[in-house]
Structure 1
Amino acid sequence: MAERPHDMTDLYLAPVVLGVEARLEELGTLSTDDLNFELILETNIEPQDTAERRKALIETVRRRVELHGWSLSLNERGLAVSHDDHTVVLGLPDNLREYLRD
């Protein structure tokens, strides 16, 4: 049986996931150079290593989406949207996976 929402944060799951997915799709259309520029522009950070690229990507997505208490993190499957014991993982477009690999 599906679990029911426990609080207002739980009720925001759908709009948060839809917003994050839309932002990932938007970033997924960018060329490598445009993606680098967008992440630097959004975060004021020029990433030097994988950890900084991960941080810049999460921050870039977070800045354009109201998370309503949900948090973002990266894992081996993609971008995780989490709150309490609930997690939804969204797949990353190929260009974002490549960006994180470099």
Structure 2
Amino acid sequence: MTVRPHDLTDLLLAPTLIDLDDVLEAIGDLNPGELAFEVILVTNQEPRDAGERAAMLLEFLRFRLDLHRWSLALTDRGLSVEHGGRAVVLGLPPNVRDYLAA
């Protein structure tokens, strides 16, 4: 059964995912120090542990993009983009996974 968009937010899923994928690709090319610096620069905070790194990465992504009422969360599979009970998960580049695990 095909799921049809319910509202404007649903229609904006594709552009939101494309924008997120572009940012993930760009930060995927950064070395660990560069990635940490970019996150600190945007969030104006230095993480103390893995939990704070995850929260700050999400803040970094939200700051750089208009998510059109879609929300972000980190899961075991990657970056979950959620709205209205629906979710799509984007994979994370290896350096981003390493950043989160450090």
* TM-score for the superposition, normalised by structure 1: 0.98
Alignment of 1:75-94 (within 5 A): 75-94=75-94
CA-to-aligned-CA distance 1:28-61 (integer Å, 9 cap, x gap): 1100110110000010010010110001111111
Q: Tell me the C-alpha RMSD between the 2 structures.
A: 0.6
Quote the residue 2:50 is aligned against. Answer: 50
Quote the residue 1:23 is aligned against. Answer: 23
Work out whether 1:3 is the aligned partner of 2:3: yes
The letter for the 2-side match of 1:83 is H
- Paired residues, what number? 102
CA distance in 2, matches of 1:37, 1:19: 21
CA-to-aligned-CA distance 1:70-92 (integer Å, 9 cap, x gap): 00000000000000111000000
Percent of counterpart pairs with the same letter? 51
The letter for the 1-side match of 2:71 is S
Work out whether 1:33 is the aligned partner of 2:49: no
CA distance in 2, matches of 1:78, 1:63: 19
The letter for the 2-side match of 1:80 is S
CA distance in 1, matches of 2:20, 2:82: 12
* TM-score for the superposition, normalised by structure 2: 0.98
Runs of 4+ with >4 A deviation: none
Question: How much has 1:65 moved relative to structure 2?
Answer: 1.0
The letter for the 1-side match of 2:72 is L
CA distance in 2, matches of 1:71, 1:83: 6
Quote the residue 1:99 is aligned against. Answer: 99
Structure 1, unpaired ranges of 5+: none
